[in-house]
Structure 1
Amino acid sequence: MGANLTSLTDGNGDSLKPGLRDIPESCVAAVFMYLSPPEICKLARLNRSFRNAASADFVWESKLPANYRFLLAKLFPDPLDSLSKKEIFAVLSRPHPFDAGSKEVWLEKTTGAVCLAVSSKAMSITGIDDRRYWNFILTDESRFHAIAYLQQIWWFEVDGEFEFQFPAGTYSLFFRLQLGKPTKRLGRRVCNFDHVHGWDLKPVRFQVSTSDSQHASCQCFLEDPEKNGNEGITKHIRGSWMNYHVGDFVVSSSNIPTKIKFSMTQIDCTHSKGGLCVDCVLIYPSNFTEKGKYF
């Protein structure tokens, strides 16, 4: 026992306690398997052992989605074989456009989950070719740098569809909308509400369906109706972008593409409506909580 105590002291009698540098890299890497990517990156700054463990391919392979090879093939025409798994995660965490820039996909940095956005330019919008009703506005408030702005129309219908290979899991679909036309005055953001009308008279109906027969729908007023007690009341804050939850769908296999259709309509022709901005449709994992105000 005395020999054991001696081994824990140096020549001056000071205790030689083991520290973080003495933990084997394999053990550190095994712990990193249970941590999130931001936590791994923070711990990698502690010492060389932790930094080496934080670069292990098997650690980052566990953080990548099951379909990451599909994403690489879809987004990059040239193979990225020279990149480590950590570098692949970093690349896929940045938004990447595809389908002629009408869609973007990226990995959520905390969980590695796949997120996707569909531009309004990729949607079918009734009356979009008639500038009396709709206009596309260039703006830095959209990830696609353009939004569809409705001045006034009687028959309001926006829909779209796309096919994508998601990892298995449950996903939520949202419309990103704003009441009021965004502009800049003297370098400051302002919003024009001159055309906002009609959204308090009848609710807007949202729908989403998939190729494997899943379907979800809901309806809500974009502004408070005159009468209380109506189903689906939602107060939209004018001049603020809101994410409206349409519904959820489940992907059972990471190897099979899912075809998704979505729409928002208000086709009661007894009144006109206008002043609405349509930015994009967003698809997030359902357990991702920072998705917007309404969901």
Structure 2
Amino acid sequence: MEGVKCITELPEECMSHILSLTSPRDAARSAVLSSEFRSAANSDVVWGSFLPSGFEEIISKLESPLVFSSKKDLYLHFCNGPFLLKDNTKSFWLDKATGKKCYMLGGRELSISLENVTSYWRWMPQPSSRVPAVAKLMIDCSLKIKGKMKSRMLSPSTTYVGYLLFKVASPEEVCVRWGWNAGLGGYGGDFRRVHTSEQQQQYEEEVPHMRKDGWLELEMGSFFNDKNEDDELEMEMRNFHIRTPKSGLILEGVELRPTPTPTP
């Protein structure tokens, strides 16, 4: 624009448009530079661009109403989740640095072998859980847990990592697998061995880490979500020693989060 010597001399709508092309972190940092930047950086134009597409539908699916005064306020609310969805089997939130969607699939959203046989599994409330009921394994030799999710529910062009969330009384070796179903060749992905104990690590196995909320978090694998909305992600865990009875596992669910963004 002719005659403009400083970016703050631009109309506010121009500054807002420029900031909407950056990131939530950059927009928040720019707000402290000047009153002109603060006004532009806090606008609905900027924060509306960081909200995921279809956020209105997400709001309609929340179990509890969400009250917000601006799109920045809504964005920060989503980042302070998770929020339980109306089906009581999933929770949702946003990654604060990127605005990417995050989900936790509770045990009821997963397919668990013999889950309705009370001598094998029992469903019970857990105060620290984000879903109404978690599954406790009483005894089972053929432990198998599977989950599916449509790729369109996740943020496109994003690399995600899946984590199994659980508590355990006795450590076990298990196998986990990720795979896509694109409607042609079926599910893919190779099984790999992991361990449910923080203390034991053999054969380059993955081991879990204790979270601040008291649940163990075990990385299952990573995958890139492209823009094909017809794809379906499948995740699976099964026991490694199939003839050995298992017990003591308390399953909260599987969490899907974008790969961490390095802090500059």
TM-score, normalised on structure 1?
0.67
Aligned to 1:253: 227
5 Å-filtered alignment, 1:112-151, equals: 112-151=99-138
Runs of 4 or more off by more than 6 Å in structure 1?
A: 21-24
The CA deviation at 1:42 is: 6.8
Aligned to 1:167: 155
Q: How many residues align?
A: 246
The CA deviation at 1:236 is: 6.9
Aligned to 1:86: 72
Structure 1: 5+ residue stretches without partners: 1-20, 181-195, 290-295
C-alpha distance in structure 2 between counterparts of 1:39 and 1:104, whole Å: 27
Q: 1:208 aligns with which of 167, 172, 178?
A: 178
The CA deviation at 1:27 is: 7.3
Aligned to 1:3: none
C-alpha distance in structure 2 between counterparts of 1:150 and 1:286, whole Å: 30
Question: Is the Cα contact below 8 Å between 1:139 and 1:146 reproduced in 2?
Answer: yes
2:51 is aligned with 1:64: yes
1:6-56: CA deviation from partner (whole Å, max 9, x where unpaired): xxxxxxxxxxxxxxx989746764674476536645764787534421232
Question: Is the Cα contact below 8 Å between 1:221 and 1:234 reproduced in 2?
Answer: yes
Aligned to 2:3: none
What amino acid is aligned across from residue 232 of structure 1 in structure 2? E
> 1:131 and 1:39, CA in 2 relative to 1: closer, same or farther beyond 3 A?
same
Deviates more, 1:205-214 or 1:141-150: 205-214
Structure 2: 5+ residue stretches without partners: 1-7
What amino acid is aligned across from residue 221 of structure 1 in structure 2? H
Question: Is the Cα contact below 8 Å between 1:155 and 1:267 reproduced in 2?
Answer: no
1:58-77: CA deviation from partner (whole Å, max 9, x where unpaired): 32233233xx12x4235427
Q: Kindly, what percent of the aligned residue pairs are identical?
A: 22
Q: 2:93 aligns with which of 75, 97, 106?
A: 106
C-alpha distance in structure 2 between counterparts of 1:126 and 1:33, whole Å: 47
TM-score, normalised on structure 2?
0.74
Superposition RMSD on alpha carbons, in Å?
3.9
C-alpha distance in structure 2 between counterparts of 1:288 and 1:45, whole Å: 22
C-alpha distance in structure 2 between counterparts of 1:96 and 1:233, whole Å: 29
SS class of match (2:50): coil
2:255 is aligned with 1:271: no
